[in-house]
């Protein structure tokens, strides 16, 4: 059986079951051992009372134990101890050995122990060095006002109790082992519905909920509200239903917004082109035009150009969001970067444009026009948001399965709080970088969308004095 991790619910339940059973077995073992010991001690005290101190009494008038004047050992169990004390001093002490009495040589500690036994106080447990064992003894008053002590060994009681403890240890150990195995199986079977709930939650957690339309898994079937697992499954089903409804609503809203952007961009292209055309026509008129009117016409022409670029960018993003297919043709990325750098050098002669390209041309599969636009947007972003004299380095690297395009500059950098959303739409960092020309705020969003459509990623790392935009494309 697979080892149970104690941190798991299954391991904790099994361990708790075994611990509770172990505590119960311990309580039963301790109780039965104490009860048996008390019972046997009571029987031993009864046996001492029944003996009436006959063996000790037979020592009462014995001055020199010998064959003719021996103690009375009749009916006495082997190892029975007897002693006579007069005025607190032991005068005789013997033990039954092979149906005869054997005198004992007591140590001072043994004599002191015997002298401390109260008369008629019931049974007491003592240990005598001369015997090397624990004894249960009682003391009675003799006919000559002396004290007669009779004792029986405790080792039969201890052996019986220890034998019971050994048997209980074996039985309880086997019971704990069997309970642990059976409990693990039982807990595993009982938690199967919870495992289904966990598997379903993990399945949902792996879904890309942030992208597009998602097919949510079906509801769980084990939803008995009378059980805790059923209540959890019911709650999960309700939550999945709410999540699916929210995703559907979000998807519908995004679709409406995407269609609106596409339709609006498409519809705006014609009137914007007309406005630009009329402005250019008015500027070309040969008759004199007042300076104020000419300035207004030039502003109309400039803003119509900017409006045309904005409409084109919005339309491109709408098409990419809609999943419009792009071309998949071999693209010489090296030549594409060279052309984009030449364009950037012409648009920004005050910047230092540096190239770090491999000796062999690097080719990828994709849409040459869109890739040219993405790299051109990165270079335009570096030109627009860094001061004159900034070094901009374009690096192309071919790895085993990927191609890396890095655009780095030593400008002022991007604020750390803005970096997570720098590829968002209409995001500007005017407070961090200079802005000398109008910007739609869609350039980096187009970069991200184009690279994602090619199955790649676009990332940025920035700190004051160094910013790098990295494009990763499948090689």
Percent helix, strand, coil in the chain, to 5, is 50, 20, 30
Q: How far apart are CA 297 and CA 279, in angstroms?
A: 6
First to last CA, the chain: 47
Task: Give the pLDDT confidence score for residue 124 in this predicted structure.
Answer: 85
Assigned domain for 169 exists: no
Residues 341 and 360 in one domain: yes
Among the three residues 299, 324, 349, which one is the final residue of a domain in this structure? 324
Assigned domain for 401 exists: yes
Domain CATH code at residue 99:
3.30.450
Q: How far apart are CA 402 and CA 406, in angstroms?
A: 13
Question: What burial class does residue 465 get, using C-beta atoms within 10 Å of its C-beta: 0-12 exposed, 13-18 middle, 19+ buried?
Answer: exposed
Residues 271 and 346 in one domain: no
pTM: 0.49
| Count of structural domains within the chain | 3
Assigned domain for 31 exists: no
Assigned domain for 129 exists: yes
Task: Give the pLDDT confidence score for residue 88 in this predicted structure.
Answer: 83
Residues 318 and 345 in one domain: no
Domain that holds residue 65: 54-154
Task: Give the pLDDT confidence score for residue 314 in this predicted structure.
Answer: 72
Domain CATH code at residue 342:
3.30.565.10
Q: Which residues of the chain have pLDDT under 50?
A: 1, 62-69, 431-437
Residues 469 and 334 in one domain: yes
Residues 279 and 315 in one domain: yes
Residues 345 and 267 in one domain: no
Assigned domain for 183 exists: no
426: left (phi over 0), alpha (psi -120 to 50) or beta: left
Among the three residues 289, 324, 359, which one is the final residue of a domain in this structure? 324
Residues 240 and 320 in one domain: yes
Assigned domain for 123 exists: yes
Task: Give the pLDDT confidence score for residue 225 in this predicted structure.
Answer: 75
Residues 98 and 219 in one domain: no
Domain CATH code at residue 279:
1.10.287.130
Find the largest Cα–Cα distance for the chain.
168
Residues 376 and 439 in one domain: yes
- Picking from 34, 31, 77, the residue whose alpha carbon sits closest to that of residue 55 is 77
Residues 360 and 381 in one domain: yes
Task: Give the pLDDT confidence score for residue 318 in this predicted structure.
Answer: 73
pLDDT digits (tens, 9 = 90+) for 306-325: 777 777 777 777 777 766 77
Residues 246 and 333 in one domain: no
Residues 464 and 345 in one domain: yes
Question: What burial class does residue 264 get, using C-beta atoms within 10 Å of its C-beta: 0-12 exposed, 13-18 middle, 19+ buried?
Answer: middle
Task: Give the pLDDT confidence score for residue 397 in this predicted structure.
Answer: 93
Assigned domain for 388 exists: yes
Among the three residues 298, 324, 350, which one is the final residue of a domain in this structure? 324
């Amino acid at each position: 059986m697979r080892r149970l991790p104690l941190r798991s619910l299954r391991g904790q339940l099994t361990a708790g079951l075994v611990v509770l059973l172990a505590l119960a077995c311990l309580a039963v073992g301790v109780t039965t051992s104490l009860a048996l010991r008390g019972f046997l001690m009571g029987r031993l005290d009864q046996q001492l009372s029944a003996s009436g101190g006959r063996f000790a009494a037979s020592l009462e008038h014995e001055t020199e134990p010998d064959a003719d004047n021996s103690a009375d050992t009749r009916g006495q169990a082997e190892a029975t101890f007897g002693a006579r004390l007069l005025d607190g001093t032991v005068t005789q002490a013997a033990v039954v050995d092979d149906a005869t009495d054997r005198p004992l040589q007591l140590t001072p500690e043994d004599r002191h122990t015997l002298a401390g036994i109260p008369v008629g106080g019931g049974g007491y447990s003592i240990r005598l060095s001369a015997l090397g064992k624990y004894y249960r003894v009682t003391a009675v008053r003799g006919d000559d006002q002396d004290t007669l002590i009779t004792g029986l060994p405790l080792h039969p009681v201890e052996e019986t109790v220890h034998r019971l403890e050994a048997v209980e240890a074996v039985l309880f150990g086997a019971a704990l082992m069997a309970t642990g195995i059976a409990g693990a199986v039982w807990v595993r079977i009982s938690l199967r519905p919870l495992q289904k709930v966990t598997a379903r939650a993990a399945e949902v957690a792996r879904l890309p909920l942030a992208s597009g339309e998602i097919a949510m898994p079906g509801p769980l079937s084990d939803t008995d509200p009378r059980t805790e697992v059923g209540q959890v499954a019911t709650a999960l089903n309700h939550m999945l239903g709410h999540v699916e409804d929210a995703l559907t609503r979000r998807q519908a809203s995004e679709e409406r917004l995407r269609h609106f952007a596409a339709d609006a961009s498409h519809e705006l292209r014609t009137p914007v082109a007309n406005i630009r055309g009329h402005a250019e026509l008015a500027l070309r008129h040969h008759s004199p035009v007042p300076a104020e009117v000419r300035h207004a016409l030039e502003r109309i022409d400039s803003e119509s150009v900017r409006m045309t670029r904005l409409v084109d960018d919005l339309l491109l993003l709408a098409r990419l969001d809609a999943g419009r297919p792009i071309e998949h043709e071999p693209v010489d990325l090296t030549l594409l970067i060279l052309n984009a750098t030449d364009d950037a050098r012409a648009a920004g002669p005050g910047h230092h444009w540096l190239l770090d390209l491999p000796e062999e041309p690097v080719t990828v599969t994709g849409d040459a026009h869109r890739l040219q636009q993405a790299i051109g947007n990165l270079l335009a972003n570096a030109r627009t948001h860094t001061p004159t004299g900034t070094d901009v380095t374009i690096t192309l690297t071919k790895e085993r399965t990927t191609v890396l395009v890095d655009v780095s500059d030593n400008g002022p950098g991007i604020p750390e709080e803005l970096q997570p959303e720098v590829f968002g739409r209409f995001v500007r960092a005017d407070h961090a970088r200079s802005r000398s020309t109008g910007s739609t705020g869609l350039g980096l969003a187009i970069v991200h969308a184009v690279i994602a459509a090619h199955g790649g990623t676009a990332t940025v790392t920035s700190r004051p004095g160094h910013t790098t935009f990295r494009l990763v494309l499948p090689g």
